[in-house]
Amino acid sequence: MRGLGGALVLVLALAACAPDPGVAGAGASGAPAASASATLPPDAPEIDAAAIDAALAADEAEYDARIGLVAVDTEDERTLEHRADERFRSASSIKALAAGALLARTEPADLERVVTWSDVVDHSPVTGPATATGLPLGEVAEAAVRLSDNTAHNVVLQELGGPAGLQEALRALGDDVTRVDRIEPELNRVSPEGLDTGTARSLAADLRALLLGDALDPADRAQLRDWMSGNATGDALVRAGAPDGWSVLDKSGGAGGLRNDLAVVERPGAAPIVIAVLTERRDPSLPYDDALVARAASVALEALR
């Protein structure tokens, strides 16, 4: 356990990229154009930002969508971004950050404590059948991350003091952008106030702090890594866009035309890449498409290879 208030505040060296002050989920076709940009430290390999911009713009046009992307090579701090400061609903991707916040404030023995609940919401494959008996808190948190169990996420939020408790934990990480306002399933719904939204920049920094920084003790960091490893919910997303031989720790999210994936990508012989890919169709009646996330991730990961 480590209090998040003592965590290192990460400041990614990212240039702003057509920030959208509007509300996520508006689906407006008149949103400002965005261009990919790259931040390169001295002596770092060059990145063809124009080619990346063209690829992402083509994907946005093909899917009538917008893509928010930040990818940071932690080996040399090369950074790619596209619509990095535009807001998107976090959806179920927030569950990984909630689990990290829970680990930061608990001891191993706390995760063995059996917790109970009475309100079961849709998509609760683990907690639904266990409503009568309850489950150890650690198993509940794992279900929220690994299987995106919605009731499990609500239980984790309750342990944190509700949505406000999770938002406070993110603020302690240095994230003053991401909003946490509601529980499942309401958190997936578009709101004119921009409730439950974040940006690719803010969410990538949070994930980096939890999985690669000092926000968590080593044992808690290893636990979160385990919960985010090999999850079938992310097979068609960043993992599908990663080169052969690379491994992906991720947490996906999706609702309507929105599809997200937050990931740490590990590769042989080099430090990991942190990547956040947030996508949303401009027509809210259209379903999301996993391929859009995979294609955007592939563009970024190949550029940082």
Catalytic residue among 184, 202, 252, 280: 184
Strand-pair category, 79-82 with 65-73: antiparallel
Phi and psi based region of residue 155 (left: phi greater than 0; alpha: psi -120 to 50; beta: remaining): alpha
Tally of CB atoms within 10 A around 240: 17
| Residue 191 is a catalytic residue | no
| Residue 184 is a catalytic residue | yes
Catalytic residue among 81, 86, 90, 92: 92
- The catalytic site residues sit at 92, 184
